[in-house]
Amino acid sequence: MPLLPRVDEMYVDENRVGETLPGQDFGSSVELALAATNHLFNTRNSTRYVAQVLQGVNAVATKLDRTTRPFTGVGPAEMNARIGAVDLDQPLPDTAAALEELETVYLGDAIYFHDAKYAAHLNCPVVIPALVGEAILSAVNSSMDTWDQSAGATMIERRLIDWTAERLQLGAAADGVFTSGGSQSNLQALLIARNHAVAGLRQEPANAGLRLPALLEKLRIFTSADSHFSIQKSASMLGMGFDAVISVPCAADHKMDPAALAEAMAETHDAGLVPMAVVATAGTTDFGAVDPLADLAALARAYGAWFHIDAAYGGGLMVSGRYHHLLDGTRLADSVTVDFHKTFFQPVSSSALLVRDRAMLQHVTYYADYLNPESAALAEIPNQVDKSIQTTRRFDALKLWLTLRIMGADAIGALFDEAIDLAGRVGSVMAADDDFELAADPQLSTLVFRYRPRVTGADALADAGLTDAHGRLSEDAADTLNPAIRAAVFASGQAVVAGTKVAGRHYLKFTLLNAEATLEDISEIIGLLRRTGAQLLANASNSEVSA
């Protein structure tokens, strides 16, 4: 007779985990292990799996129906106290109890990106087909590193990479891999560019025998002053240092200035340094600017530099019905970053790095006998880890696959087009509003602006130097006021907007990615910002009078 009963003959009530089972006298650790098997995802527990997952789905749906604002305004101290009070060593009796607790520590105070009053960062409302994919991929739990862990998932990811490369016009030799996000995609692109440049340097007799650190000292990366911070972080992680990145000025429209790039590259070359890469941006985080891709590509080619396009934000233009032309020039790139979890309305995370020449992915290939031996590559076994800087990796491509199969690419593009159109309408409204200043006309779906009204009859403010000669709020006062407006609105929970700096000055920012948001919705946020700013100014005026 076996020591332990067969699992399928056990009786374990979810509400009685930890109690002694009838007729069993073995130790508590064995008892707990047997009870825990009731929580494993397998054939025996399929009914339990459906019931518990549906409880979670219903909890989210219920919260969705009852949510009337993007945030509750809860502060870090209160949230930390609630979560700190949870005893993680004492499990709750069942899923229902855990979900009830989750309402207190997460769901009740989560920031909901689907709400029309959320207009802060590049967080999109997500489409339902992608959520179906999320549920499936989490349960099956394929790991995308090797064929013997992923099989069909590998081929789906590869097909989506081919589809994306075709949309970007990268050519028949293109390839790529899914990543965790734009920062990782940019890091991998620059790692490939670095290794490609180092391989070239090693061909020069003067560099024979030099170790990698010595070769890295000469390499430089060129990117615009408005590019993503991950370029500098990547340079640091790649052993080149922050100062290896040369910041190129932008024109008035916040696009990289080709003339400034030409001058910077010439100076670098003349100093005996090596222009390793030019990083263009297709959709800057603040202004949505798309750099002049063809002009920058020509300069990169002239110096033998790698040409990378960070289209984490603007990548959704590849399926746009009205703005696709803004991506003209991607065919000239050596590599492109695309974030599907921004403008393809996918849940985090879902990103990809594409390269025009699949052979360049060999710069990140490493063979391990226990995982992806070189013999497997020679046998043409498709191990995705061969072209990734990650090992274990989720099957995030499934979300995009189901979205395309259920909705179609044109529908995704239509959602992004609506967001871009809304930004244009909001921009027109704000440009005509004397209380606000736009930093630039909208280019994709972001608007950078600040509250800087003309303050009439506010002698106390004028006496305090808070207004300029024209009666408008001074630059310094606006720098203090606008972050305070943002903080007060966030604390109210009525809306969420972002903040940034332009030429050292504080501004507010709308990032619009919700196709269901209307001009009226955003006008309500503008009204809230105006009222909040006016109240803060009134308080400041009263303080000056009291003083």
Q: Which domains does the chain have, with CATH numbers?
A: 142-405 (3.40.640.10), 411-546 (3.90.1150.170)
Q: State the pLDDT confidence band at 31, using cuts at 50, 70 and 90.
A: confident
For the stretch 119-139, pLDDT in tens is 999 999 999 999 999 999 999
Which tokens go with 261? Answer: 């790039």
Residue 2's pLDDT is: 37
User: How many other CB atoms are there within 10 angstroms of residue 421's CB atom?
Assistant: 16
Omega before 349 within 30 of 0, i.e. cis:
yes
Residue 209's pLDDT is: 85
245 has a pLDDT exceeding 60 = yes
State which amino acid sits at residue 102.
L
Q: Which letter, b or e, does each residue of 126-152 get, where b requires 16 or more Cβ atoms within 10 Å of its Cβ?
A: bbebbbebbeebeeeebbbbbbebbee
User: How many other CB atoms are there within 10 angstroms of residue 51's CB atom?
Assistant: 12
Rg (CA), the chain: 27
Which tokens go with 416? Answer: 């992004």
For the stretch 155-185, pLDDT in tens is 999 999 999 999 999 999 999 999 999 999 9
